[in-house]
């Protein structure tokens, strides 16, 4: 089953050898989610020392479709994907995937 998912994604990104795997996309999505959550929390903090908020966390990624990997260094590509959150909520996003020796990072473009 996992092979089918990876094969299905590989066909949506070119050249395949330079594209992130689904595991790398999920890891990048979770990291982007942490950064966005921190930024929102920081912006809403009134300095009182108490901020009680709950954010849904990214649990999965689906419907991934990416363009070609750029020839720039580091490599980058634009992707459309669905982030799947805890409790079944989902959101369609347009993101920029940026590769490095440490893996892939994701930045929102929407």
pLDDT digits (tens, 9 = 90+) for 88-97: 899 999 999 9
Residue whose token pair is 């996992």: 2
The pLDDT value recorded for residue 94 is: 95
The pLDDT value recorded for residue 98 is: 95
Cβ-contact 90, 33 below 8 angstroms: no
Which structural domain range is residue 10 located in?
2-108
Measured distance CA(97)–CA(67) in Å, rounded: 10
Token digits for 102? Answer: 């440490």
Q: Is the dihedral of CA 14, 17, 21, 24 positive or negative?
A: negative
Phi, psi of 34 (to 5 degrees): -60, -45
Cβ density class 88-106: b for 16+ within 10 Å, e for less: eeeeebebebbbeeeebbb
Residues 32-52 pLDDT 10s? 988 887 777 766 766 665 555
Ordered per-residue pLDDT tens for the chain, 110 residues:
333 344 444 446 767 778 899 999 999 999 998 888 777 776 676 666 555 555 678 999 999 999 888 888 899 999 999 999 988 899 999 999 999 988 999 998 87
Q: How many domains does the chain have?
A: 1
């Amino acid at each position: 089953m996992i092979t089918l998912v990876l094969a299905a994604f590989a066909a949506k990104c070119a050249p395949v050898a330079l594209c992130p795997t689904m595991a790398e996309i999920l890891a990048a999505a979770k990291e982007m989610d942490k950064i966005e959550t921190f930024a929102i929390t920081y912006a809403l903090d009134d300095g009182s020392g108490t901020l009680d908020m709950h954010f849904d966390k990214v649990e999965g990624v689906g419907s991934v479709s990416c363009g070609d990997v750029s020839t720039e260094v580091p490599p980058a590509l634009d992707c459309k994907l669905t982030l799947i959150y805890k409790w079944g909520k989902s959101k369609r996003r347009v993101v920029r995937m940026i590769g490095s020796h440490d893996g892939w990072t994701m930045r929102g473009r929407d």
